[in-house]
Amino acid sequence: MSFDYNEHQHIRFNPLKDEWVLVSPHRMKRPWAGQIEKPEEKKVPEYDPSNPLCPGNKRSSGAVNPKYTGTFVFDNDFPALQTGSPDVPGDQHPLFQSQVARGECKVMCFHPKSNLTLPLMEKGEIVTVIEKWIEVYNELRQKHRWVQIFENKGAMMGCSNPHPHCQVWASSFLPNEPAAADRNQRKYLETHGKNMLVEYAEMEARSGQRTVVENQHWIAVVPYWATWPYQILLLPKRHVLRLPDLSDEEKASLAEAMKSLLTKYDNLFETSFPYSMGWHGAPTGSGDLDCDHWQLHAHYYPPLLRSSTVRKFMVGYEMLAQPQRDLTAEQAADNLRNLPDIHYKLKSKQTVPFS
């Protein structure tokens, strides 16, 4: 009897995190009495005089934003990391250890208009965002071991401001997630003689089962080991260590891939799809010279499961045992892949030619 991964529970291994994920696709068939209808979307104005991220407005720190017309980067008014943190005592009990954490935190606005998200921006505007990411990254990599670019989109992911923006935190230390990725990518190269994610991208491109978006330079897949329902791993097709290593052609191709992926996200439940995303590339410390085991990649972690209001909660078994998902990566990829590349908000604006 053949084993149908879309019908039976099984566990899958995540080589980046060195952990197992329980897949239980039959859970999607259980009765659901919760809300599934699409709520009325809030109208976000193009400009809000009370929004501290809009051009020309005053922020809580008292600083006034310039009347920017493209991207805009500023130091976070409430940074989680600062450069002047004092050293911690050296003699510590093994159960009560701490180390100094130094760094910088910045906020980056993608666009002057509050009612535009990345999938609704023009390709050239997304390229501008990518180039600004690289500019900020190059500035911070000179002083810090890790530069984390991340975006929290939507109130469901804790974002209280609808203006299109992301954050960049640079730290003197390697955080837990990239530390695990560093360790496991190095181990894979030493054991198998191949770069883990370069080989993975090649195998996913040949398979196509979990591919959502693919072009000449990039591939976006629901990873085999995905935890979140519609999680995405975005990968370059050639070996690339960090964002600044991308060619102009690869940056333009990345903008196309991002616009297509995020449009499909929004089209899935016809809502501005919430997610947390972030870039992982090779560390930038003085001791991180041997980084051939690394491959640049971006993670997208969206919480929605059944509708624009029904999310996946990481509770119970997930918190106390291991991650668990309710549909297979192949099912999720198929759901996303078959969605149109035209944003649902723009469909009504298309003209129908006369016959």
CB 282 within 8 A of CB 247: no
Task: Please say whether the beta carbons of 280 and 297 come within 8 A.
Answer: yes
- C-alpha to C-alpha distance for 319 and 311, rounded to whole angstroms: 16
Q: Where do the H-state alpha helices sit in the chain?
A: 123-141, 176-192, 196-207, 248-269, 317-320, 329-337
The beta-strand segments (E) located in the chain are 10-14, 19-23, 72-75, 103-109, 146-153, 165-171, 211-214, 218-221, 232-236, 275-280, 297-301, 324-325
**Active-site annotation holder among 111, 144, 163, 165:** 165
Determine phi and psi for 219, rounding to 5 degrees.
-140, 135
Measured at the CA of 164, the angle between CA 158 and CA 165, to 5 degrees, comes to 70
* Cβ neighbours for 2, distance < 8 A, ≥ 6 positions apart: none
The answer to whether 111 is a known catalytic residue is no
Residue 300, number of CB atoms within 10 A of its CB: 24
Sign of CA dihedral 329, 332, 335, 340: negative
Neighbours of 231 (CB within 10 A): 21
Greatest extent of the chain over all pairs of C-alpha atoms, in Å:
82
Active site residues: 165
